[in-house]
Amino acid sequence: MNKLFGLFALAVLFLMLTGCPYGYKYDQGKFPPNPVNLHTINSIYDDYNSVSPVIEEDRYLYFSSNRNSSGDEFDIVGSNFRIHFDRETGNFNADNKYLGWRNYAYIDSLFARMNTGYNELGPNTLPWVSFVSNSYYYTDLIVFSNDEAGKQDIKFVWFKGKGENPAPDDGSFHGPKAVSFVNSEADDLYLTFYGPAFIKYDFLTVVPGTITELLFCSNRGGNFDIYMTQVPSDQNIIDFLGMDTTVAITPVNVLNSGYDDKCPYIDGELLVFASDRPGGFGGFDLYYSRRNGNTWSEPVNFGDKINTEYDEYRPILGKYNEFENDLMIFSSNRPGGKGGFDLYYVGIPPMMAGK
């Protein structure tokens, strides 16, 4: 008995000294509170308007860039996006290394459908896995805008393939189609999705039927404001986006300021956007708002650790279970980048749903 007690005491002492109940020195990491340049992804041209779809913790970054035309029109381009956290040292890297298992070859064909000789901006993605007739199907829906008609119009493309990780030959490609009921004679762009049970960072809950609202920005009123429309509960999201019917579209007044309020992006109950309203730090600043019943809370500036006297633009959100805070990626033309607008990442307090 004394021998067993001694062994138990030694084990307890070891855990107390190491603080590693699972054999790791660090169980959770922390994203940096100050923005870090995604230098392995950025170019000497303008890189912004990113989005990072996630399926089972694997991510691929879609973003707007004028690198393909050496600084002229913008295309939607892509890059591997890896967050690597070393639980032994506590170090992590954000880079473009390939994780090695998810097949993203189909994305090049989607990009070919999206990109033209005009400007493609503001991609957003809705990927999900469904189970039908004893088979898995993977769908990746991408919304974006282009100015082929002389103004920014919102459009969409999608890929659907059989299996959880289909190759391009295992699926079909569709679009582009216009989201005609949100497009106007002005600029309409940056479509994003909301639903009380819709959480983009968890692939098990990325179910199109949980989307209840679409939000986007438009300068149809003179300056850019954020608008919304309801999504019918019995409507397939792809069918809904492609329908040619008038729907009610209303400004989200609590988010709008009388200045330019742009680039809304939602994950869980948190909405982030860019605005040049007074009270910021110069140019466009980044703001956030929490869902408050049927509407949103008063926007809050992210502060001077993130915002500068230059332009901060198109924020997106991400959650990693290995980190104690949340991730935000955005673009900025601040000094110290590789050229023009660059993509940056930064840690923000854990405000997303599920934290």
State residue 13's pLDDT score.
43
State residue 355's pLDDT score.
40
The structure tokens listed for 50 are 């990113």
Mean pLDDT of the chain: 88
Size (the chain), residues:
355
Q: In this model, does residue 254 exceed pLDDT 90?
A: yes
What dotted CATH number matches 2-101+115-124+182-348? 2.115.10
What gap in Å lies between CA 301 and CA 6, rounded to an integer? 56
Distance of CA 196 to the CA centre of its chain: 17
Assign 322 a pLDDT band (cuts: 50, 70, 90): confident
State residue 16's pLDDT score.
45
pLDDT digits (tens, 9 = 90+) for 260-298: 999 999 998 999 999 999 999 999 999 999 998 899 999
Sequence ranges of the domains in the chain: 2-101+115-124+182-348
Assign 129 a pLDDT band (cuts: 50, 70, 90): confident
* CA dist list (Å): 128 to 87, 160, 202, 306: 30, 10, 10, 31
Query: What is the pLDDT averaged over residues 188-206?
Result: 77
Contact 64, 78 (CB under 8 A): no
Tell me, what amino acid is at 9? A
Query: What is the pLDDT averaged over residues 98-114?
Result: 87
